[in-house]
Structure 1
Amino acid sequence: MDRRFHFISGLPRSGSTLLSAILSQNPRFHAAMSGPLGGAFNTLLGELSGRNEYSVFISDVQRQRMLRSLFAAYYGPEYGAEVVFDTNRIWCGKLPQLKALFPQGKVIACVRHVSWIIDSVEQLVRKNAFQPSSIFNYQPGGTVYSRAEGLANGDGLVGHAYNALKEAFYGDDTANLLLLRYETLVSDPARAIAAVYDFVGEPRYAHDFDNISYQADEFDLRAGTPGLHTVRKKVQARERSSVLPPDVFRRFENDMFWLDPALNPRGVLVV
């Protein structure tokens, strides 16, 4: 494939859609919100495993070729971009496979103060009080405490992504991994995006951080969570008070392992 592939992953509500919206201003790039390719990748990987009675006829070379072909098939000729950034939280848990399939591919993991991630989801839930969200399987019950617990557990929206992020951060394939802090992206977008360009080895582009455009209203409405992928026109930090009870907020305030150099033995780049 002539097209180059990179990957946006990391924690939810941490700027991946904003990052994609900014990058998509570059006519050479394609970037968007999370799509179906990660799920298809996982499904095909499972179907090519030993649970398939015909797996004895499938070599690792064939597995790699078939998995790589997913990207060529999905991003067909209608995508004119030379460089594709595919977004999915699954990619942080697939660094060994991505390294084998796309040796030059980079993974940008978006991260954010975990308490504010929980807060951001809770704010959406309260804003859409009459529309149960897909985030909680459209269940209308629960409290802020049960929702925070559900998000944070190992199978939850935040907990699963957090564990995958740590797996990537402390794994053997960190050379192609960059952690992009939400706080940097919204407060100093020029520095954040310059770091992304340098990391992926592309010439910098003059982005307009005052005129960002991205729409996924139909998807968000179907998910019962209008505003889930809303991107404001101007990139800037916005101060506000948390909607979480203080004890819930404090529960996650020490989870930002990426801020401590002593906890970064492999020297993963954090911007």
Structure 2
Amino acid sequence: MPATPNRLDDTITAAYLAGDMEHVITLGTQAAQTGALSETGLLWLGIAQQTTGRYAAAAATFGELTRLRPEVSAYWNNLALACRQCGDMTASEQALMTARSLAPDDAEVHYNLGLLYVHQQRWLLARESLMDAVRLSPRFVEARLQAAHACHVCGDNESEQAMLVGAADWPAQPGEQALILASMLCAQGELEAALHALGQAQLPAGPAAGIMRLRIAAQRVALYERSNQLDSARNELRQLPLDSIERLPADAHEARAEACSVHAALAMRDGDHAAAATLYRQVLTLVLDDQHRAAAAFGLAAACDRLGQRDEAWQALQIAHAAQLEIARSVVPELMQPYSQPLQMADQVVDRVAYQGWQPLPPPARRTPVFVVGFPRSGTTLLEQMLDAHPDFRSMDERAFIHELIEGMELAGQPYPGGLADLTAREADQLRDVYFRRVERVVPELGKHQLVDKNPLNMLCLPMIMRLFPQARIILCLRHPCDVLLSCYMQPFRSPAFMVLCSSLQRLADGYVQAFEQWQKQVEVFAPKLLEWRYESVVGRFDASIARLGEFLELEDASPMARFSEHARGKRFISTPSYAQVTQGISSKAVDRWHAYREMFEPVLPTLRPVMQRFGYAD
């Protein structure tokens, strides 16, 4: 005698609660064939199918539920997950859109839509959906982590930091998520929190656990190397011998790439550039995503450059930039056009007439920062570490707080830079308060010390600096334009806009010239307290340069700045690509480095020559 629907539901529910998914599927499938399966039975059947990896069958079951009860958003959400798991991304997105329309305040639906977009690498949409999930459910840790990751890829540092508030206290994460979280925490300078996230990572079941352990070990090495803790990095690397990498399954491309890459990074630190190049070449033979591919290609380029293998270095750079452009394409598609403008504020200028219309403002109540500016890779990190080594100063690593003030001003409906003329004393104080609140989160011990705000592209924000801090001392870092461009071209910048800017020497040269043309116009208008700090002079006349810097800053004793490399070695984190170089002291190796690639620079020299001549640099 067949079971009645209610009795069948009870039996299926009991089997599900007992964890006997196969029995649920057997009962449910038989009942479905005779049309005797109720809505409740269909739900348990679909979940059991999904739990056991029968994703196509689960999609069919949840599809039936949406036909029976199209007004229930949870069924559309379940259908979307099953469709995503069996590879039907179009159907998954359509189901999630329906679920969102039925339940616009359901954080879980927004989260799943964000995960779908992450899977598709549609990063802007992923960021939007995941941040919506966090807005609806602020304690939704998984959504915060994934939202932070999407913000990280999009170069939205402010939102990434906001999503990671309290991350050190989050519960243990699955291995893959722990790797992402640790990487982001390290980029925020929170090494201990990053290591903690790795230490409590949840391992997958079966053979995958061993692969995850290896990836976690590799990440620990990378974190220590990135934080200039080389003894700790080498100790960790001993737990990751090369023969253990060779024993990985053939399809473990990601794990093999990460393990080989940290061996290569330590080989570079030890001066074994040939070994590093061999390892990076091995990584590039693997099936990798664009991020891993770009990192390996940049590493190979650096190793080949040190070996004097210029042609191979240049070929590796082409691979690296092609991969980075693919990353940028999904984040800043508007910059893919040949004549787009990656340096967003390079055309924002205040002319003399507008400046004369500025109403005087009371001086700031707090001590004015020293601003270190210049095109990236011009020696700004070197100078920052010199200043930070002096007891009178505190630096905050590279922060975009001035840029963020501009963005906030525009969001409030005040155009930049035109709206600066109409700022009241109260509004200016509010902007300064916002600035220093952000500073205090990074440098809580600032106290009576003078802040060093080093952000190279603050050179494009001179109007804002001069409006809020008209007496600020500003130091412009200069270096031969061709050395600057070569160094930029060889670096894996994280900003998607900078990925585009650095994608070719010509584009870089155009951006460099545009930045300095804007700078020169603004210097002529504002006449700031300015010191031009030349990298070549610092290398060639170090003591005289330190004395000149001390005189500009009105210091009684500038000598502590000479011990910058020792000071840098004691810091836990330096965010810029120069994190290793500044621990090694002054070297002339980076001067005129571009001559080895002169053939590549010939086409851009006409573009650069006017700026080169203005600052006294020769071909």
- By the TM > 0.5 criterion, same fold? yes
* Deviation (angstroms), 1:217: 6.0
* Deviation (angstroms), 1:216: 7.6
**Can you give the 5+ residue segments of structure 2 that lack an aligned partner in the other structure?**
1-364
* Deviation (angstroms), 1:7: 0.5
Does the aligned pair in 2 maintain the 1:34–1:86 contact within 8 Å? yes
* Deviation (angstroms), 1:8: 0.6
**Can you give the 5+ residue segments of structure 1 that lack an aligned partner in the other structure?**
125-131, 221-225, 261-271
2:508 equivalent in structure 1: 151
- Measured in 2, the distance between the counterparts of 1:138 and 1:118 equals 12
- Measured in 2, the distance between the counterparts of 1:80 and 1:177 equals 25
1:236 equivalent in structure 2: 587
Does the aligned pair in 2 maintain the 1:217–1:227 contact within 8 Å? no
Does the aligned pair in 1 maintain the 2:483–2:592 contact within 8 Å? no
SS across alignment from 1:172: helix
Query: In the alignment, is residue 65 of structure 1 matched against residue 429 of structure 2?
Result: yes
1:3 equivalent in structure 2: 367
Give the direction of change, closer, same or farther, for the CA distance of 1:32–1:196 in structure 2 (3 Å limit): farther
Give the direction of change, closer, same or farther, for the CA distance of 1:95–1:149 in structure 2 (3 Å limit): same
2:56 equivalent in structure 1: none
2:469 equivalent in structure 1: 102
What is the correspondence of 1:245-260 to structure 2 with a 5 Å cutoff?
A: 245-249=598-602, 251=605, 252-253=608-609, 255-259=611-615
2:100 equivalent in structure 1: none
Does the aligned pair in 2 maintain the 1:17–1:32 contact within 8 Å? no
Does the aligned pair in 1 maintain the 2:505–2:601 contact within 8 Å? yes
Show CA shifts across 1:238-268 (max 9, x none): 25643534251561355224435xxxxxxxx
Give the direction of change, closer, same or farther, for the CA distance of 1:152–1:135 in structure 2 (3 Å limit): farther
**Which one of 522, 526, 549 corresponds to residue 168 of structure 1?**
522
Query: In the alignment, is residue 36 of structure 1 matched against residue 393 of structure 2?
Result: no
The letter for the 1-side match of 2:507 is G
1:27 equivalent in structure 2: 391
Does the aligned pair in 2 maintain the 1:109–1:165 contact within 8 Å? no
Does the aligned pair in 2 maintain the 1:16–1:33 contact within 8 Å? no
Does the aligned pair in 2 maintain the 1:197–1:203 contact within 8 Å? yes
- Measured in 2, the distance between the counterparts of 1:7 and 1:95 equals 10
SS across alignment from 2:537: helix
SS across alignment from 2:466: helix
* Deviation (angstroms), 1:116: 0.8
Show CA shifts across 1:199-231 (max 9, x none): 2333232126365143686845xxxxx556741
2:544 equivalent in structure 1: 191
Does the aligned pair in 1 maintain the 2:389–2:563 contact within 8 Å? no
Does the aligned pair in 2 maintain the 1:15–1:110 contact within 8 Å? yes
The structure whose residues are more often strand, as a share, is 1
* Deviation (angstroms), 1:136: 6.0
The letter for the 2-side match of 1:121 is C
What is the correspondence of 1:113-128 to structure 2 with a 5 Å cutoff?
A: 113-124=480-491
Identity %: 21
Does the aligned pair in 2 maintain the 1:109–1:177 contact within 8 Å? yes
Give the direction of change, closer, same or farther, for the CA distance of 1:92–1:30 in structure 2 (3 Å limit): same
Does the aligned pair in 2 maintain the 1:115–1:253 contact within 8 Å? no
TM-score by length of 1: 0.71
- Measured in 2, the distance between the counterparts of 1:109 and 1:21 equals 15
SS across alignment from 1:207: helix
- Measured in 1, the distance between the counterparts of 2:497 and 2:459 equals 24
Does the aligned pair in 2 maintain the 1:30–1:81 contact within 8 Å? no
1:266 equivalent in structure 2: none
TM-score by length of 2: 0.34
Does the aligned pair in 2 maintain the 1:29–1:85 contact within 8 Å? yes
- Measured in 2, the distance between the counterparts of 1:177 and 1:231 equals 24
SS across alignment from 2:371: strand
SS across alignment from 2:611: coil
The structure whose residues are more often helix, as a share, is 2
**Which one of 494, 498, 504 corresponds to residue 134 of structure 1?**
494
- Measured in 2, the distance between the counterparts of 1:183 and 1:111 equals 9
Higher relative contact order (CA 8 A, sep 6+): 1
* Deviation (angstroms), 1:159: 4.6
- Measured in 2, the distance between the counterparts of 1:218 and 1:180 equals 21
Q: Which is higher, the Rg of structure 1 or of structure 2?
A: 2
1:18 equivalent in structure 2: 382
The letter for the 2-side match of 1:255 is V
Does the aligned pair in 2 maintain the 1:17–1:229 contact within 8 Å? no
Q: Aligned pair count?
A: 236
Give the direction of change, closer, same or farther, for the CA distance of 1:203–1:2 in structure 2 (3 Å limit): farther
The letter for the 2-side match of 1:237 is S
